[in-house]
Chains A and B, each alone.
Chain A
Amino acid sequence: MTTDGTTAPRPPHQVLDATDIARVVTRIAHEIVERAKGAEDVVLLGIHTRGVHLARRLHARLTQITGRDIPLGTLDITMYRDDLRLKPARALEHTEIPASGIDGKLVVLVDDVLFSGRTIRAALDALSDIGRPRAVQLAVLVDRGHRELPIRADYVGKNLPTSLREAVQVQLADSDGRDAVLVGDRDYTARSTQALAASPHLPE
């Protein structure tokens, strides 16, 4: 179902490698410390699946930088999605809110790709059922554009202009065996996790 049938789907090409990703994570960590004034009340919440891995890496960098153990948790937003009726029911991932809670804290949501914004909308809804943070910020590895909601990221690893027929695939060693960000034609990477995100009416 390619829109122009003249070219065969391109194989994915790498836009970030492991070194790039490590550098980006370090940069975002510094930005968080800077903007959150020492990250005193920061709580990191990784959004499943790859946001959780990224949050863990950010957490490690922040610990190095600040010398403190920043609260780290995970968030599964499945039950808050607006596309539940479009796909088979999926298994839930573990939501782990740090014992200190999120009330009055600065929650930094962490995800791999920012696309339509619907995942973040769902995450904000989930957060409001869990508690009342002082503020919520968003950190993403890649912002590929095509927003469908008034949502923006506070910390962006890389802005990556893409077309809707492209798929962005984030690979992280924790789940994929290596660190890389790839861009390729949607049809070429069919069935890969991020390929689903190439559909404009589906959230990333």
Chain B
Amino acid sequence: MKRHLVSTADLARDDALLILDTAEELAQLSGRAVKKLPTLRGRTVVNLFFEDSTRTKTSFEVAEKRLSADVINFSAKGSSVSKGESLKDTALTLQAMGADAVVIRHHASGAPARLAQSEWLHGSVINAGDGTHEHPTQALLDAFTMRRHLNPGPGRDLAGRRVTIVGDVLHSRVARSNVHLLTTLGAEVTFVAPPTLLPIGIENWPCQVSYDLDAVLPKTDALMMLRVQRERMNAAFFPTEREYSRRYGMDGIRMAQLPEHAIVMHPGPMVRGMEITAEVADSPRCTVVEQVANGVSIRMAVLYLLLGGATLADSPRTDSSETAQ
């Protein structure tokens, strides 16, 4: 594995399976009386959030604390940090604090990549969602959830499983991270969206594209509904909320077209009534709550694998000499 997790495109199949298998082991922890491991004792992890996200932040925080890391929450939203230079200043500050890892959520695509490539910071960079680019840990927890339902067992991948992702692909970092990871794991990905919400050049992505949800549903093992922001309507991406729901929303009737074993996923937060009805959201095949629990296991696995081991040779951290025999 690389030292950073910025994009799922950087994960080879073995890396991805190692994360999933590790998360599977760590998931056992939630059933124990003592849910804590001493693994990252003395390590400092900073949650650097330039954008509100209680869910992702809480999930990371729980994962970090279960591994006994020292957690610093650095909320950078709204303040002077909206101007660019301060990403650098903030990074320099965190470096001075001795951050071993920085979990970063940023509204600008590429901000984590900038941090990872810069000389500003020596710790590991974990992308917790950047602009409309990627959200790797979300994709990992999605794949984890799919594997549990569709091909459970350590070392197993998602070969031949058909995953349908519906909604605002254009603005979705979840979709981008998922298409790389799921393809790496052997799944067949189909995007379903109005043409306005698909990026230019998608014909070269490793996926199928359809504008017809009903045609795809019977050939789906896992259905992932993406959030659609109502504001997109004002930018003429689609005419009305009602029309969107009718063509691309998930309701009970559509759910019945899915194969028996298929699951319905959502990265949250859901816009009920828009992309998903309550009937679907609350149905037993909807994995939203499970995804949240899996998120903690996945983030623990990522933190452990990036931080638990030795500092890699390319890192300028001072203790790297200890690894020399």
Interface of A with B (CB < 8 Å)? 1, 76, 79-80, 84-95, 125, 128-131, 199
Asked if A129 and B309 make an inter-chain contact with CB atoms under 8 angstroms apart, the answer reads no
- What 19 new A-B contacts, CB under 8 Å, besides A79-B304, A92-B26, A129-B34? A79-B39, A85-B311, A86-B323, A87-B323, A88-B312, A89-B1, A89-B304, A89-B306, A89-B308, A89-B309, A92-B21, A92-B25, A94-B154, A125-B38, A128-B34, A129-B32, A130-B32, A130-B34, A199-B325
Residue from A84, A128, A130 having most chain B Cβ neighbours under 10 A? A84
Cα–Cα, bound, A94→B27 (Å): 11
- Inter-subunit contact A84/B308 (CB<8 Å): yes
B21: A residues at CB distance < 8 A: 91-92
In the bound complex, what is the Cα–Cα distance between A89 and B309 (angstroms)?
Answer: 4
29 contacting pairs across A/B (C-beta < 8 A): A76-B25, A79-B37, A79-B39, A79-B308, A80-B37, A84-B39, A84-B308, A85-B309, A85-B311, A85-B319, A86-B310, A86-B322, A86-B323, A87-B323, A88-B309, A88-B312, A89-B307, A89-B310, A90-B309, A91-B21, A91-B22, A92-B21, A92-B22, A94-B25, A95-B25, A95-B28, A125-B38, A129-B34, A130-B32
Bound-state CA distance A85–B154 (Å) is 25
The CA of A79 and the CA of B67, in the complex, are separated in Å by: 9
Residues of chain A lying within 8 A (CB to CB) of residue B32: 129-130
Which positions in B face A, CB cutoff 8 Å? 1, 18, 21-22, 25-26, 28, 32-34, 36-39, 67, 154, 304-312, 319, 322-323, 325
The 3 A-B residue pairs with the shortest CB-CB distance, nearest first, are A89-B309, A129-B34, A92-B25
Which B residues are CB-close (under 8 A) to A129?
A: 32, 34, 36-37
C-alpha spacing A93/B28, complex, angstroms: 12
Please name all residues of chain B whose beta carbon is closer than 8 Å to the beta carbon of A95 when the two chains form the complex: 25, 28
List of A residues within 8 angstroms of B323 by Cβ: 86-87
Q: B26: which A residues are within 8 A, CB to CB?
A: 92
In the complex formed, the residue of B with least CB distance to A89 is B309
Could you say which residues of chain A place their CB within 8 Å of the CB of B25? 76, 92-95
A92 nearest CB neighbor, chain B only: B25
A36 to B226, CA, bound (A): 59
State whether A89 touches B305 (Cβ < 8 A).
yes
Shortest CB–CB separation between residue B266 and chain A, in angstroms? 29
- Can you name the residue of chain B whose Cβ is closest to the Cβ of A85? B310
Measured CA separation A90–B305 after assembly (Å): 7
| A87 & B22 in contact (Cβ 8 Å cutoff) | no
List A contacts of B312 (CB < 8 A): 88
User: In whole Å, how far is B146's beta carbon from the nearest beta carbon of chain A?
Assistant: 21
Give which listed residue, B33, B38, B306, B322, contacts A79 with CB less than 8 A: B38
State the Cβ distance, A8 to closest chain B Cβ, in Å: 20
Residues of B within 8 A of A93 (CB): 25
CB proximity of A39 to chain B, nearest CB, Å? 26
User: Nearest B residue to A201 by beta-carbon distance?
Assistant: B322
Docked pose: A86 CA to B67 CA in angstroms? 18
Chain A residues whose CB sits within 8 angstroms of the CB of B1 once the complex forms: 89
Taking CB atoms, residues of chain B closer than 8 Å to A94 are: 25, 154
Q: Name the residue in B154, B308, B319 with the highest tally of chain A Cβ atoms < 10 Å from its Cβ.
A: B308
B131 vs chain A, min Cβ distance (A):
29
- In the complex, what residues of B have CB within 8 A of residue A125's CB? 38
In the bound complex, residues from chain A placing their C-beta under 8 Å from that of B38 are: 79-80, 125
Q: Which of A1, A88, A91, A130 is the one whose CB lies under 8 Å from B310?
A: A88
Residues of B contacting A131 with CB < 8 Å?
33
Which residues of the partner chain A approach B306 to less than 8 Å between Cβ atoms?
A: 89
In Å, the complex CA distance between A88 and B39 comes to: 13
In the complex, chain A residues whose CB is within 8 Å of the CB of B34: 128-130
Name, among B26, B305, B312, the residue most crowded by chain A CB atoms within 10 Å (CB to CB).
B305
Tell me the bound Cα distance from A86 to B323 in angstroms. Answer: 5
- Rounded to whole angstroms, the CA-CA distance of A128 and B34 in the bound complex is 9
A87–B310 CA distance with the chains assembled, in angstroms: 5
Q: How far is the CB of B40 from chain A (nearest CB, A)?
A: 9
A85 to B322, CA, bound (A): 9
Which residues from chain A contact B33 at a C-beta distance below 8 Å? 130-131
Contacts of B308 in A (CB 8 A): 79, 84, 89
- Chain B residues lying within 8 Å of A130, measured Cβ to Cβ, are 32-34
Q: How far is the CA of A84 from the CA of B310 in the complex (A)?
A: 6
Tell me the complex Cα distance, A85–B312, Å. Answer: 10
Bound Cα distance from A203 to B199, whole angstroms: 53
